[in-house]
Structure 1
């Protein structure tokens, strides 16, 4: 009998007997290959998850990783890949299904979404990733943790070091009382090349405002003459300082774009060039703070001499510590060159002295934890907190999480007005060690004990409520296998770190491969992951996956060079072909706005012996990511590409009507998404068209002819995109295509 608590939006499907639908291996087409697979309805649920992934799937968000995929999507893919054609996937999605005696492999494990979703369905799972940081976070997410031991360890750490760290975030109020500082506000400074005056790199004197300023217009601005913090309207272009009575424009500052103008001599200069010529990272000036008073109020104030003296004491304390932080050079790369351009040569230079002091105190205490599993878990928590406690973060303001983390732009972007958060934190902190324990570790433990799915209530087009449905999945938390032999003997989960083109997995032992491969784009995860890796290595030692001081590897698939990406991806697909059973499917999510992104995937699949049996769009992970909002034609969809060994697929002998096959399928998928109220960008339509094109081409007799036809179809592709994006469902290029396409 279902138990429900409407006030909490919770539905529990467990019965007294814990009845489950148990499905075992089958032979034949799978539900993921059905034309009516409910991708548009799954996308609606995934959309809800995507807005608060860390709350709706906290198990995969105990630590930063890039392109963290949606659990809703991968639950549906796993169900579809391992159930027979004709299965009602929506019904199965909300039933306690157990897919027994089946094995799933993810060769690009990332944050572990495939592994977790498979385990919740009773599937045995193998995960592998070449990056040590990814491997580390998934081990911590899916290993069994005793809740009482975790809570006790945190309390022990708090008892030993919390007060010592908090002491560095105290300030004296005008009435002489002491208060906690939530955040210190800093600004980068550059010496004017003409007169050597220190120039603050403010582009605006407004440093704090509400996330919804039109509704909450009050903001804070710092006076350029006396440094006092003034209350102003967020869009005011003139105000008078309450302290020194000088007039200033709160919306302007010395920095504008890539240049700055010296207030002393009015000389204009290029900021980055001037910093590079100084051969040292830019200096910072402390100018304001946000204080938490004893009665719980938050008060903005100008930084004073006591604040500067407090920082000086932290600098001296740091100098007295032995081996307080990792000293590792930042290597050149697309995602690190911007930081190197500002003369950040070492990873520790991305923190100020007070941050390094507090982090070193915390790291030393975590290193002293005796139990290895617990030591790793709290190192994972520490590593995650680094993202919010460095000089590449900024202030988001009131009405939202206050700290904008350092990877909001997917690059190491030097922040001109960085924010220093309280490392241990208070009850009203954001991004602190204490609050991240509550928000990440506790929340993940709760989810692991009692996983839930989201379900939408109400008709399409209405304002729909969301409920959490419990009782569908097995709990998470496993004794992890260290090699395939241990996995074969019965352990449920096997995680490894290394090149996925070479594994110890037995040939033909995997029932489905479900993954999300990297793109050949410019976000190189390993270059960014080194920021975390050097600290993990500093705490846990230089052993195992942490032998070297970088996560970069010549074997990683991610590569800006198309041919190198194709070769490396193809080698992983070839290993997948070896370990996959002859009846199994390979399913992966993918999107790309450039044609070479699709030809590369097509070539890699065909060379490895795969053909595409189905392809359909589904909600991608990005709903709030900064790069999406900055894109002119953002891609909000992924394509689920479903493949089988070419030996198991019937080859197509077309009569020349290629687009007559592609266009109706693409049009149907576009229409289904629009009927659910989803707005599609031109690039969303593009990936739907491209997926259907490579699906057809992958079934051809020869890879060379498939790639040649793909390369020669640019005009037809653009016409199809224009037709579908504009809402015209017919196929204007069909006749022309028939005359030029030979039988393949």
Structure 2
């Protein structure tokens, strides 16, 4: 059982490593972008802890086949719990209300003939090269080659001065590239626009072209900018002015001819030929037949209102002419493919490619690469945008991709993802050396082709709300899921950006694409624009959990991950579990996010999830039923000790979330016998809130955490604490 066999130090260690470079551990996630994917190693561990035999760390790296086990995920999202269960041979059933989630999981699990896929992808790249390859070439400043490849075109937003009418480049700063991955810092001259490389960022010196002082700070700050012509202060953006204008001001390129003699990256100011090629792209766009470029309006929303404030009102306005040409041509070529699964795979690639082929991507001045539009799980509109080479660049010397955001990058990642499905592996550390261990008896898919035999597995995927899911009573062996975290991510608003393209390309072949948008009033996320509040989230979660509880066999687990920075967001979790007639038998900590993520790094957010394990009947260790804040603190400290043994260094935010998990579990335990699910949802939430307040909440627990909390985010103190014996004889357990 999970409660006894889940090895926190072991799982924490492998999950933490996986989240640092997740695609190296679970290449399957490269099928398509989804948000906040939890580690596959976490769900593999949960399933093996529940259904396997023997210590988890002994069987984790061995083949495990769990035939006859039926697992469901009512919020499949990016599909991690499902494909981990499918890999182990379980029958799997998944639901998601978002058609993009349904489509992504379908592409992850459907069998694909890799040879046919690679052939079609190669033909696509060749055709695109013939049509538009010339638009991504530039002249090398060092050797004069006419065939240097542009990696990134860099654009700055331009505003019109409200007083004199002059164009104002909205540079927040003039530093283009830092000296971490390039020998020098690269600055844009505010006077003449030339690029100058310098050793000092603080005192960059003079422009090599005009001799004027270089500056770090730009004219745009906090929605105000100064006009260099008349000195007036202007405000930006102006929603009434329509989509913002952009000016190309720099290129990063790659020259295969002289790269071996060149140190660092290649940068240049666009020359007349570069500007002329973009003008050619604009002319080509007006002349071509546009079958797939979406003209859909961008609906208002919690995230999309940001786009409206910048004057973006249709999705096509988020792309420049060169991007639209490449995407339209790609769609036309993909649509003519006869092999349905190959066509769907390349259509999925195009949908994922959109993340980098738009005019909201930013350039990382440290890593010197494009940051995709969803890098912060929203639609932040920057002032400097990065246009990636749509085709991608392959290094002839090392057969590797140069740069990011092109077709060759997406195709290579997709091929690796599907190869992983055929031969999944785990990564094990031997000292400091990583060892890739292939698990030959395991595979991911609806079928497996090999040696003249087709082996099939039971996979059922539904694009529907799990609030209407129908399962026979006592038919499931486990429900394992990663539910929405109230208002953390606006999945539908973000995924519409891809959906409007994918729907035009494959929508006629799948009923999931009947709607013009992925937005649904029944989606279980908090959303101000659609009037979805905490009550809506609670009622929906309760309905889903109740249906899952009815479908579970007696004592079978409903296990899910959850974390939020506020205790209030845990109240719906408690209500849903109680409404389902379940008891929370464990709350276990595990790393589930990457601390270096752009949306987490430097914030008080937690990377630690609580795994809630819920059952209709079972036993819990008596020591887990804490009644006083100091006892809860002891449980938290024990969790921290185990996480540290897995090389996790918890922050104060992590500690809060761990405590929130225990407080929620204990509230469920103490309220379960008197709970009335017929109460109005407002009353249920009030009861949970009042109960937690009466117990003192986190503030009461924190008083007994001592240095574990106070010093958490600064210095880790080695502490000696006698570990609680959680498991022993039957007298140490309480039945429920």
What range describes the TM-score normalised by the shorter chain of this pair?
0.7 to 0.9
Match of 2:353 among 385, 406, 412: 385
Match of 2:236 among 271, 279, 288: 271
CA deviation string 1:551-602 (max 9, x = no partner): 0111111124111111111111111112211231100000112121111110
Q: Say if 2:154 and 2:251, in contact at 8 Å, map to a contact too.
A: yes
Partner of 2:613: 642
SS for the counterpart of 1:281 is coil
SS for the counterpart of 1:101 is coil
- Aligned pair in 2 of structure 1 residues 654, 43: CA closer, same or farther (>3 Å)? closer
Partner of 1:693: 663
Match of 2:314 among 346, 357, 368: 346
SS for the counterpart of 2:196 is strand
Mapped to 2, the partners of 1:268 and 1:93 lie a distance apart of 62
Q: TM-score normalized by structure 1?
A: 0.86
Mapped to 2, the partners of 1:432 and 1:523 lie a distance apart of 26
Partner of 1:538: 504
Matches within 5 A, 1:356-367: 356-367=324-335
CA deviation string 1:310-357 (max 9, x = no partner): 111111111112234011111111111111110110111111011001
SS for the counterpart of 1:572 is helix
Mapped to 2, the partners of 1:569 and 1:627 lie a distance apart of 26
Partner of 1:373: 341
- Aligned pair in 2 of structure 1 residues 450, 491: CA closer, same or farther (>3 Å)? closer
Partner of 1:430: 404
Partner of 1:82: 51
Partner of 2:438: 470
SS for the counterpart of 2:380 is coil
Partner of 1:44: 13
- Aligned pair in 2 of structure 1 residues 473, 334: CA closer, same or farther (>3 Å)? farther
TM-superposed deviation, 1:360: 0.5
CA deviation string 1:151-199 (max 9, x = no partner): 1111222233332121221234564734322221110001122222111
Q: Say if 2:128 and 2:326, in contact at 8 Å, map to a contact too.
A: no
Mapped to 1, the partners of 2:184 and 2:112 lie a distance apart of 45
Mapped to 2, the partners of 1:651 and 1:302 lie a distance apart of 67
Partner of 2:679: none
Deviates more, 1:614-623 or 1:661-670: 661-670
Is 1:258 the counterpart of 2:223? The answer is yes
TM-superposed deviation, 1:90: 1.2
Partner of 1:571: 543
Mapped to 1, the partners of 2:625 and 2:433 lie a distance apart of 49
Mapped to 1, the partners of 2:44 and 2:540 lie a distance apart of 27
Deviates more, 1:663-672 or 1:135-144: 663-672
Match of 2:166 among 197, 219, 222: 197
Partner of 1:418: 385
Mapped to 2, the partners of 1:718 and 1:260 lie a distance apart of 44
- Aligned pair in 2 of structure 1 residues 415, 660: CA closer, same or farther (>3 Å)? closer
Match of 2:563 among 581, 591, 597: 591
Length, aligned pairs only: 675
TM-superposed deviation, 1:522: 4.3
Q: Say if 2:349 and 2:414, in contact at 8 Å, map to a contact too.
A: yes
Match of 1:58 among 21, 27, 30: 27
- Aligned pair in 2 of structure 1 residues 567, 393: CA closer, same or farther (>3 Å)? same
Partner of 2:398: none
Is 1:138 the counterpart of 2:105? The answer is yes
Mapped to 1, the partners of 2:267 and 2:197 lie a distance apart of 9
Mapped to 2, the partners of 1:107 and 1:677 lie a distance apart of 32
Q: Say if 1:165 and 1:423, in contact at 8 Å, map to a contact too.
A: no
Query: What is the root-mean-square deviation in Å for CA atoms of aligned residues?
Result: 2.7
Deviates more, 1:377-386 or 1:538-547: 538-547
Mapped to 2, the partners of 1:240 and 1:285 lie a distance apart of 23
Partner of 1:152: 119
- Aligned pair in 2 of structure 1 residues 696, 286: CA closer, same or farther (>3 Å)? same
Q: Say if 2:361 and 2:371, in contact at 8 Å, map to a contact too.
A: yes
- Aligned pair in 2 of structure 1 residues 435, 47: CA closer, same or farther (>3 Å)? same
- Aligned pair in 2 of structure 1 residues 342, 630: CA closer, same or farther (>3 Å)? farther
Partner of 2:729: none
Match of 1:245 among 208, 211, 214: 211
Match of 1:295 among 239, 257, 267: 257
Deviates more, 1:105-114 or 1:695-704: 695-704
Q: Say if 1:97 and 1:472, in contact at 8 Å, map to a contact too.
A: no
- Aligned pair in 2 of structure 1 residues 154, 716: CA closer, same or farther (>3 Å)? closer
- Aligned pair in 2 of structure 1 residues 97, 490: CA closer, same or farther (>3 Å)? closer
Mapped to 2, the partners of 1:322 and 1:419 lie a distance apart of 26
- Aligned pair in 2 of structure 1 residues 722, 535: CA closer, same or farther (>3 Å)? farther
Q: Say if 1:501 and 1:574, in contact at 8 Å, map to a contact too.
A: no
Match of 2:477 among 497, 505, 511: 511
- Aligned pair in 2 of structure 1 residues 654, 674: CA closer, same or farther (>3 Å)? closer
Mapped to 2, the partners of 1:654 and 1:441 lie a distance apart of 44
TM-superposed deviation, 1:81: 2.6
- Aligned pair in 2 of structure 1 residues 286, 510: CA closer, same or farther (>3 Å)? same
Mapped to 1, the partners of 2:645 and 2:125 lie a distance apart of 53
Matches within 5 A, 1:673-684: 673-684=643-654
Is 1:624 the counterpart of 2:605? The answer is no
Q: Say if 2:125 and 2:407, in contact at 8 Å, map to a contact too.
A: no
Mapped to 1, the partners of 2:588 and 2:427 lie a distance apart of 22
Mapped to 2, the partners of 1:179 and 1:664 lie a distance apart of 62
Mapped to 1, the partners of 2:705 and 2:626 lie a distance apart of 22
SS for the counterpart of 1:160 is helix
TM-superposed deviation, 1:648: 5.7
- Aligned pair in 2 of structure 1 residues 178, 530: CA closer, same or farther (>3 Å)? same
Partner of 1:461: none
Mapped to 2, the partners of 1:61 and 1:564 lie a distance apart of 32
Mapped to 2, the partners of 1:295 and 1:651 lie a distance apart of 68
Q: Say if 1:50 and 1:621, in contact at 8 Å, map to a contact too.
A: yes
Is 1:664 the counterpart of 2:634? The answer is yes
CA deviation string 1:426-485 (max 9, x = no partner): 1123110112211x1121122112111122334xxxxx43322222651223249xxxxx
CA deviation string 1:81-136 (max 9, x = no partner): 3247xx41111212222222101111111111111111222212112111111111
Q: Say if 2:154 and 2:384, in contact at 8 Å, map to a contact too.
A: yes
Mapped to 1, the partners of 2:281 and 2:212 lie a distance apart of 34
Match of 2:149 among 157, 175, 180: 180
SS for the counterpart of 2:669 is coil
Question: Which stretches in structure 2 are left out of the alignment for 5+ residues?
Answer: 260-264, 395-401, 449-454, 528-532, 676-683, 710-718, 722-735
Deviates more, 1:656-665 or 1:612-621: 656-665
Partner of 2:680: none
Q: Say if 1:451 and 1:473, in contact at 8 Å, map to a contact too.
A: no
Mapped to 1, the partners of 2:644 and 2:105 lie a distance apart of 36
Match of 2:699 among 718, 721, 726: 718
Is 1:501 the counterpart of 2:482? The answer is no
Q: Say if 2:565 and 2:605, in contact at 8 Å, map to a contact too.
A: no
TM-superposed deviation, 1:404: 0.9
Question: Which stretches in structure 1 are left out of the alignment for 5+ residues?
Answer: 1-29, 459-463, 481-488, 732-743
Matches within 5 A, 1:219-238: 219-233=185-199, 235-238=201-204
Is 1:67 the counterpart of 2:36? The answer is yes
Partner of 2:244: 282
Deviates more, 1:373-382 or 1:442-451: 442-451
Mapped to 1, the partners of 2:200 and 2:499 lie a distance apart of 40
CA deviation string 1:11-31 (max 9, x = no partner): xxxxxxxxxxxxxxxxxxx1x
Mapped to 1, the partners of 2:626 and 2:587 lie a distance apart of 21
Q: Say if 1:479 and 1:493, in contact at 8 Å, map to a contact too.
A: no
Q: Say if 1:209 and 1:234, in contact at 8 Å, map to a contact too.
A: no
